[in-house]
Structure 1
Amino acid sequence: MKNIFVIILSLFCEVLFSQIAIGKTSVSSPSASLDFEIANRGMILPWVTSTGAVAGVVNGTMVYDLIDKKVKVKYASGWKDLSVDTSGTTVDPVTNVDGVTIQNAATENTAAKTSVGTPTSTPGILVLEDSNKAMILPKVASPHLTIVNPAPGMMVYDTFNKQLAVFNGKVWTFWKQ
């Protein structure tokens, strides 16, 4: 009974405060809705068979497109490519296993959704719905040197160069304001 009460209280607090820390005990900024531990790991975007196959997508959606092996973000005018190099791959260089075969073997739960903030009907796997908060990406100094085996679609904030870094399965692409 005590465990059930703790779980219910935790879920209530999570919805009430709309801030989540992953891999650490607290969120580092009051303007963050989702904050990751500082470590040599990144956030992996959902893999899609093509951006054209994604239904009901909203602006700001980010995916890894398996057709052209690129990380993309949705804008009103269409999909913007965040991967400069087009030679991405889903084959793990250490195990030589193609991640697509692992993904295709899994049963997809189309109703799966996690929402941080006030839930709406916005489609997506992980939806951050705060009007005054944002996600803080995992922070990694020089990810191209420190992340040993990044997955395709991985995103981090490079703290050394102060820029967004995305991995397309072959190379890192860096974006700076």
Structure 2
Amino acid sequence: MNELDSETSDPVLLDALSTAALVRYSRCFTSGIRARLSIEELPTATAEDIELHERLRGIRDWHIAHPINKQEVHALYVILDGSPEAKTGAIGFSSFSSVQLPLEKFQVDAMLALCEKWVSWLNTQLIRAQEPLIPVANGLSREELLALPQDEPQPNSNIKARRTQVQR
């Protein structure tokens, strides 16, 4: 955020930060191993939130994931010998590439507000999912609770195991 406020902000850093933010935001809305979220699930989403969400997803899809779009300009120039005694055509080449920064400060602020709504809603969903477990846990003795597996969650690199987890 400080980089956006700076008058001497680095465009490469801003692009990298915007890209990272868009990829991380969009990740939970794409298909894959995890359960997929949908903007329609967020009860507090306003029409503006939905429009922003679609814009953010569009930037991610068409600017980052599939970067062939109107926000990118690439050109190759041929340098011609313009002297009267020129015997050849081209004496060199030059190239130009330009990419518009995908997010402006007001969009970053709006994205952060939308993310806060998602976090609040997801926390509510987690609490609701845990509520049925409380009576079960209360029905166990201290010894039974302590006998439950206490291993730290491990990353799952086995694709078959990951598919099994999703199918539960």
What is the TM-score of this pair, normalised by structure 1? 0.21
RCO comparison, higher one (Cα < 8 Å, 6+)? 1
Q: Whose helix proportion is higher, 1 or 2?
A: 2
Q: Whose strand proportion is higher, 1 or 2?
A: 1
What is the TM-score of this pair, normalised by structure 2? 0.22
Name the larger-Rg structure.
2
